[in-house]
Structures are given as structure tokens and as C-alpha cells.
Structure 1
Amino acid sequence: MTLALFDFDGTLTSKDSLGEFLKYSVSRGRYILNMIKFFPYFILWQLRLMKNSVAKEHLFRIFFNGISEDNFRDIATKFSHEKLDSIVINERMQIVKKHQANGDRVIIVSASIMCWLQPWCDKNGIELLSTQLEFINGLFTGKFLTPNCHGIEKENRIKKHLNLKDYEKICAFGDSSGDTQMLALADEATKY
């Protein structure tokens, strides 16, 4: 059996789903204000003085701290149904469908948030490993429930989720340094 591992943002999509989700979830004015608030963390991350995961938690805290889980999931599900297909690159989705048609196990491994990726994956019959937000008593805490599924965490999640020795062949598809460890697991790695 073949295992096909796909990054999502930039690999299967023409735009980053996080950026699109942030624009979708709040008004234009609030989006601009929140991005101004996030700017110092962005600079620290760009200067490598702050980890990607820490900067990303700050971003989510600025945008969504205290939002109810039901409200967040509603927004994320609507976004998934209304917007994700419009940023998916058809030619690359055909590669996913070819693997599925061959009976291969297809898994998306993404740093993006499960709340908006899961409905899309369910619709397309694809397994998902991704970052999850922490909700306590029905409210977003401003933290991640799981480590950000990026870089070495992609490898960790894959190895925890399945036994790679069960597969005759592993194919992996990615587009950035955040996919390096996942691509290294593959017999056939494709970097876009």
C-alpha cells in the first residue's frame, strides 16, 4: 500500500488559508487593527527571535481570544464550505484524487487549524493531521491544544498516527521549509 502525505497551504492552495480565514472572520477594519497589533510579533518571528508557533498563538489570541467554541466552529465551517475550494489548485487536487483512485492512503498534514480544514477534508474523503485550538468551558483560551503542526511536529504527528513500515511506498508533497521533515520521510518527495 502507498501512503501519500500532502501539505495544504501553498502545496494544494494558491493562497494561505490562515490569511484568508482571518480576512473572512472579521470586518476589514478589525482585520487591519488586529494585524497592526500583531506586527511586533511578526517582526520578532521574522528576526528568528520568536518561534513560529509562539507568534501564531499571539496571532490567534489577538483575533479570537475568548470567542465561543460554537461561534468559532460556525465561522470556520462556513469558511471551509464557501472559500477553500476557490484557493485549491485544481492540477494538484488531481494528484490527490489519483492517489485516492489507486487506493492509496491520503493524509493532509498541515499547520492550519483543524476547525476549517476538517470539513473540507471530510467532503473530499481525506484524513487530516493539523493544529488544534484549545477551548475550555466553551471558550477559546488563546492557546493551541496541540503543538503547531509545522516542521519537526509534522514528522512527530505522522509517526504517532501510523506505522510507516506498513507502507511499501511513501510519497510526500510540500512547498516550504515547514515541510522538510515530512518530505524526508518519503521515498518520493515533491517540493513545489
Structure 2
Amino acid sequence: MKEKVLGLETRGEKVLSVFDFDGTLTRHDSFVPFLKFAFGRREFSRRVLMLALPSISFLARRMTRDELKSRLVSTFLTGVDAEWVSKKAVDFCAVSWFQLMRPSGLSSVVAELESGSEVTLCSASPALILKPFADRLGIKLIGTELEVVAGVLTGRIAGNNCRCENKVLRLEAVYGPLTQYRLRAWGDTRGDYELLSAAQEAHWRYFHPAWRRLRLRGAIGVKPGVGVAAHTNQQIAVKFDRDANTDDQQGA
């Protein structure tokens, strides 16, 4: 087997490079801005009002993030034509690309592709909405799947929200045991913890301004963006749990 040089020298290893999307490759969440774009400001505002009580319950920790995500999907996407959403996603990608995407993140994706790595997005945002972004990047996509019946969205998530342990499970369903790869992972929220823990090279908020990366470095004493999984998992978990309701993107 040929020897590859992939930033660090790796011999006889397949490399899988996994990028979270919202807040990692992007400057902020993409799902809610997409809904505002697709439905228009007035209809978006009307439907958001229906989520006021669930949002309060979430902030009060009486509702989980997955439950709130389900309510969001149900409120906006029940009975909506899937093809219409796909077309709106293409338009959203075109108009928001330069404002939404982090240039340093895009450069890193290109570098991983050029190194010969297998590269994929792995995001809690709906795959239907992220597909144009993955296509433009030229990489694979794993995201939360929305249930479709006869071409119409039911307003339900098919399977599980693709965050936390489900990111690892979805990756294994596509790529097989992750132990056969040198896993590189980029993430920025509690929803990426299990993915980062599984990686040999774990990059936390790697494309963020230094002050945001320092928050985790100060908690566990690591250099920002390098080797998160090599340090005490319990300390990381405590930090993530403390920030779970305030520091996570909806799509993450």
C-alpha cells in the first residue's frame, strides 16, 4: 500500500475527515435562516410564535433539544412538498454561501480532499437542506433525515436527530467500523462530543476566533483545535453539559 503524507505522516491508513456544519464550517446556524428564507419573513414570524412555549420549556430544561427540534420540523415542514424544499435549498445555498461559510473552513475541506481523505459532512441539520452545500463542496453528506410520503414531508424526523452518539452511529452505518480509519473530526458544540471523542485528531472550534476556542482550552488545558479526545473525557463532558442549552446551534 502506498504511503501517504496527510499533514502528519500516516502509513497504510485510510483517513476519514468529518466536518460538522452549523457553527463549524458556517458562522452560525443554517436551518432557522433557511426556514426564514424559504417561507418569507411574515410567515416565518407567524410560525415562530407557535414555538414560544416549547422554547421556554427547553430553556427551563423541561424539554430536550431533540424534542424542540421535532417541534420545529413539525411546525414548518408538515405537509410541505419535498421537491419545493429541495429547490429552496439550492436557492438558499446560492444566496447565502459567502455570508454563511467560514473561508478557513472551506480551505480545510479542500486540503482534506487534496490529501486523499474520505471527506463528509455530518450534521444534525436536515440533509435535504444541506445537500446543495455538500454538492458545492464536492463531499459526501450525512444529516438528519426527514420523513417523506408520496413526495410530501410528514413533519417528522426519520430515525434519530443526527447529533451526539447518533453522529458516530450514522458514520459507522455508512463507512463501517471507525477503527479502520484515522478519524479526523471538526466540531463546535455538545452535539459533537461523541464524534470528537472517537477521533484520533479532534479539532474543537478550529475555525472560530481565538476567544471562543479558549473557553474549552481553559477548562481542560489543551491547545485549541488539537487532540481534544486525548484529554480527560469527564472534564470535557462537564463543560459541554454546562453549555448545552446556551451554546449549541439548533442544527448541531
TM-score, normalised via structure 2 length: 0.72
1:166 corresponding residue in structure 2 = 180
- The 5 A counterparts of 1:1-12 are 1-12=14-25
Q: Does 1:182 align with 2:188?
A: no
1:88 corresponding residue in structure 2 = 101
- The 5 A counterparts of 1:73-152 are 73-152=86-165
Residue deviations 1:153-189, cap 9 Å, x none? 111111222221322x211110000000000011111
How far residue 77 of structure 1 moved from its aligned partner, in angstroms, is 2.2
Identity of aligned residues (%): 30
Structure 1 distance, partners of 2:157, 2:179, is 30
How far residue 92 of structure 1 moved from its aligned partner, in angstroms, is 1.5
Aligned length: 191
Residue deviations 1:11-51, cap 9 Å, x none? 00002101210110112121112111111111222222222
**Runs (4+) off by over 4 Å:** none
State the secondary structure of the residue aligned to 2:50. Answer: helix
How far residue 4 of structure 1 moved from its aligned partner, in angstroms, is 0.9
Structure 1 distance, partners of 2:35, 2:136, is 22
State the secondary structure of the residue aligned to 1:132. Answer: strand
Gaps of 5+ in 2: 1-13, 206-252
CA contact (8 A) 1:77 1:115 kept: no
Higher Cα Rg, which structure: 2
Structure 2 distance, partners of 1:72, 1:6, is 23
More RCO (CA 8 Å, sep 6+): 1
CA contact (8 A) 1:17 1:84 kept: no
Distance 1:137 1:157, change over 3 A: same
1:44 corresponding residue in structure 2 = 57
CA contact (8 A) 1:174 1:191 kept: yes
